[in-house]
């Protein structure tokens, strides 16, 4: 239905020249880009399922976890597209909290948390969201208000939704749920890996010390069917073998980082130092020693290299590897 205002706007638009229309569109676009440049951006997005509720969610570049405003309202049983006066904020609170009945229970923490955060989605659009931690707080608020008999008939339905949400959230923390829904746990796990490597490795190499006993190399030669050398010279294949049965079976990510810290020299095609010189004295080197002591018995009970590889893959499998199982035909 047309209004006098819309008719007037249409008439003014028809009087504009093509250059004026282009200029107005350009100015509007610049304004939108300027606003977008100042807004935080989502690095991950997904849909969080809690009970029957499906809530779009996001993780911002600074790690803030958000539930979109529409998803938040829908989870509470409210309209996901508030219009007109229902969008207005009263006393710093969104409309579903700005009522006299709830006022005695509203804390400053809730007031601060209910300010919507505008952000740019991963597809470049603009959206509004609330911090994920706000949802359980609002649910607790409505449940407490129901117990005190403070709710109106309309608010009672929000309390029912809140009860279902709280039961679902009791199993897993809201932050972990958002991380899973958006795929952010991959980044989180990478941070955990960085923390592990920071205590497992050292950037500056330590002084050389013998870490691999002669028995370790003698067993490799026996299993391979090679003749043990009388002198010090050993096959250069030992480096690849040691990576396979030792370093690649330490915590995931250790070997790639060692290869980064101790790269192959371009001229000699060899590494300048030993990998173990970059393992930390307190964590990395004791773990290396324990691993070697554990694989020596596996070597000794194996009749050849093939049997040993089968045994070590069972005892110390690489991350993501499939174990070859022997099947007894009898």
Q: CA-to-CA distance for 122 and 57, rounded, in angstroms?
A: 11
Q: CA-to-CA distance for 261 and 274, rounded, in angstroms?
A: 10
Residue 98's pLDDT is 77
- Which two three-digit tokens encode residue 116? 């919507």
Count of CB atoms situated within 10 Å of the CB of 249: 22
Which stretches does DSSP call E strand in the chain? 42-50, 53-60, 65-68, 117-120, 126-131
Of 163, 167, 157, 169, which is closest to residue 144 (Cα–Cα)? 163
Residue 215's pLDDT is 92
- Which two three-digit tokens encode residue 312? 């070590």
DSSP state of 104: G
* 58-111 pLDDT per residue, tens: 988 888 889 998 888 888 887 666 554 444 444 567 777 877 878 888 888 888
Please state the domain extents for the chain: 42-183, 192-315
Please enumerate in sequence order all residues whose Cβ is within 8 A of that of 157, keeping only pairs 6 or more positions apart, or say none: 77
Q: Which residues of the chain have pLDDT under 70?
A: 1-37, 79-92, 170-177, 185-197, 230-233, 319-330
Buried b (16+ CB within 10 A) or exposed e, 65-99: bbbbbbbbbbbbbbeeebeeeeeeeeeebbebbbb
- Which two three-digit tokens encode residue 267? 């001229």
- pTM score above 0.85: no
DSSP state of 225: T
**55 DSSP β-pair partners:** 48
Residue 330's pLDDT is 39
Q: CA-to-CA distance for 70 and 252, rounded, in angstroms?
A: 40
């Amino acid at each position: 239905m047309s209004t006098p205002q819309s008719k007037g706007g249409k008439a003014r638009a028809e009087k504009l020249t093509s250059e004026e229309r282009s200029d107005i569109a350009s100015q509007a676009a610049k304004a939108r880009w300027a606003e977008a440049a100042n807004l935080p951006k989502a690095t991950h997005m997904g849909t969080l399922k809690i009970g029957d509720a499906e809530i779009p969610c996001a993780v911002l570049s600074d790690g803030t976890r958000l539930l979109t405003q529409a998803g938040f309202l829908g989870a509470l049983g409210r309209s996901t597209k508030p219009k007109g006066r229902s969008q207005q904020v009263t006393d710093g609170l969104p409309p579903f909290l700005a009522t006299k009945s709830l006022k005695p229970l509203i804390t400053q923490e809730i007031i601060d948390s209910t300010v919507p955060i505008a952000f740019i989605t991963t597809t470049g659009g603009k959206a509004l969201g609330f911090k994920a931690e706000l949802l359980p707080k609002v649910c607790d608020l409505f449940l407490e208000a129901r117990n005190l008999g403070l709710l109106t008939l309309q608010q009672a339905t929000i309390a029912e939704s809140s009860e279902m949400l709280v039961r679902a959230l009791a199993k897993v923390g809201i932050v972990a749920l958002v991380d899973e829904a958006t795929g952010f746990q991959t980044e989180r796990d990478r941070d955990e890996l960085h923390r592990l490597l920071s205590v497992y490795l050292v950037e500056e190499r330590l002084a050389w010390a013998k870490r691999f006993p002669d028995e370790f190399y003698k067993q490799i030669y026996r299993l391979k069917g090679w003749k043990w050398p009388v002198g010090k010279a050993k096959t250069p294949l030992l480096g690849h073998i040691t990576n396979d049965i030792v370093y690649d079976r330490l915590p995931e990510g250790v070997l790639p980082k060692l290869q980064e810290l101790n790269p192959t020299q371009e001229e000699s095609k060899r590494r300048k130092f030993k990998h173990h010189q970059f393992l930390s004295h307190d964590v990395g080197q004791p773990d290396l020693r324990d691993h070697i002591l554990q694989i020596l018995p596996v070597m000794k009970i194996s009749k050849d290299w093939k049997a040993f590889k089968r045994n070590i893959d069972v005892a110390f499998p690489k991350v993501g590897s499939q174990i070859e199982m022997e099947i007894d035909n009898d």
